[in-house]
Structure formats: C-alpha cells, structure tokens
Amino acid sequence: MRIIARLDIKNNYVIKGINFEGLRKVGSPTDLCTKYYKDGADELVLFDSVATLYSRNNLFDIIKRITEKVFIPVCVGGGIRSLDDIKMALYSGADKVSINTSIVQNISFLKEANKNFGSSNIVVSIEAKKNKNNWEVYTNNGRDKTGLNVFDWIKKVQDVGCGEIILTSIDHDGTRNGLDLDLINKIKKISVNVPIIFSGGIGTVKHIEELKKIFPDEALALGSALHYNMLKLNELKKIF
C-alpha cells in the first residue's frame, strides 16, 4: 500500500482545517516535505488550496525548492487551467499534476492533457460530498457544487483517460475520525480500472486497516494525522 503525504498550501504555508474550512497554518512546505521524505513517504501530493479561487499558480517555486531535497514522486494540484500550466508544473520538478475544476468545466481538457503529456502524468482530483443519499462532485477546494454524481464521474474520467484518481471526502477531511467507508464500499461495486488514492479522515492505524480490507492495493493520502503527529510514517511503513 502506497502511503502518501498530502500537503494543502496557502500563501507559502501548509494549512489544514476540517471539511475544508477553518484553515490553520501548520508549517513550511519545504520543511514538512523533507521530513516526510526522510520518514518514508512513498509520494507527496501538494495542493494550492486557493489557486483556483484567485486564478493563479503559486506552487511552482515551492516545487522547485522541494524537489532539490526530495527524491520521491511529487504531484501538484490547484489552479491547473491550461497545457502551459501542466508544462510549467512538470518543468518545475513535479512528476504528476492533479486537476479538478478545469476538467469539470471542460472534459476535453483531460483529453488534451493526456495527448500532450501522457495519461500517467495526469491525476484527476475528485472532491466528494454526500447530499442526502448521493455523493456529489465539488470543485474549487470544496466550495462549489457541480450536480455531478461521483460514481458517474469516476466512470467518465477513467474512460477519457487518466493515470490515477485522488478521491477526497469533504465530509471526513481533517476529522481524523476515519474514512468515508460508505463511499468507498460503493466504489468497490463499480468498475474502476485506474489506481485510486483515498484521502480524508485517516487518524489511526485501524482506519488504514479498514481501507486495506476493502482495497488491499490502493493508496491513501494522509494530512492532519501526519501534521499533528498522530501517525508516524516510519512506523506505518513497518506495518504496511
């Protein structure tokens, strides 16, 4: 099981909240990425949490500094709106880019990204929130409803083509109370042929074991549990 450190970034600081709200600074991106690399993270995922909102890309300089010290795959997301943005992210040292809002707005952008950079470099980010009995896709760091059903959207983006999907439960994000197992069990019932990175809610080893029972070989992304030292990567790697 790949264990990935997730860092949400705002204005050059790693931040974290609960359900994408109440964001607080928790440290330096470079320092934390270096620490998680040394502690045994398999990959790093970095999101600019306000890039789409303010129509900017703020991570390229940060990525350059991080990849001078870190030698594991790095995925960057937030505000990726064009092929030039993807090119700049990869040129800055990222191995993969994660895209959400721009693909929801224009699915052809996913086709163009695959054609120009290869699907292995493109990760589709899906922010999921439960509304009544339906899980809906959100964009803009959990701010905007789309009306899209999560399961239908997973099928669509994998049919168009992508290297991976990173699925974040907005309801569970930052809570450290466990993953959205109802959502995950429903995903198990549909045909998914690309790797999924599950994010949102991990706080204990038991939570990881629960995911492993459903998806033994998929990846998980940890944020709060690492930032607040509830779980330690070097210990987790001994178990998983």
Residues that are catalytic: 8, 127
Strands (E), 114-195: 122-131, 134-139, 144-149, 164-169
Measure the CA–CA gap between 90 and 226, rounded to whole angstroms: 26
Judged by phi (left if over 0) then psi (alpha if -120 to 50, else beta), residue 207 lies in alpha
**CB of 207 closer than 8 Å to CB of 199:** no
- Beta pairing, strands 134-139 & 144-149: antiparallel
Note the helical H segments in the chain: 29-39, 60-67, 83-91, 101-105, 108-117, 150-160, 181-188, 205-214, 224-227, 233-239
Q: What angle do CA 70, 63, 201 make, to 5 degrees?
A: 80
227 phi-psi bin (left φ>0, alpha ψ -120 to 50, beta other): alpha
Q: Which tokens in the block code for residue 154?
A: 């997973």
**DSSP classification of residue 60:** H
Integer Cα distance of 39 and 232 in angstroms: 8
Cα distance from N-terminal residue to C-terminal residue, the chain: 6
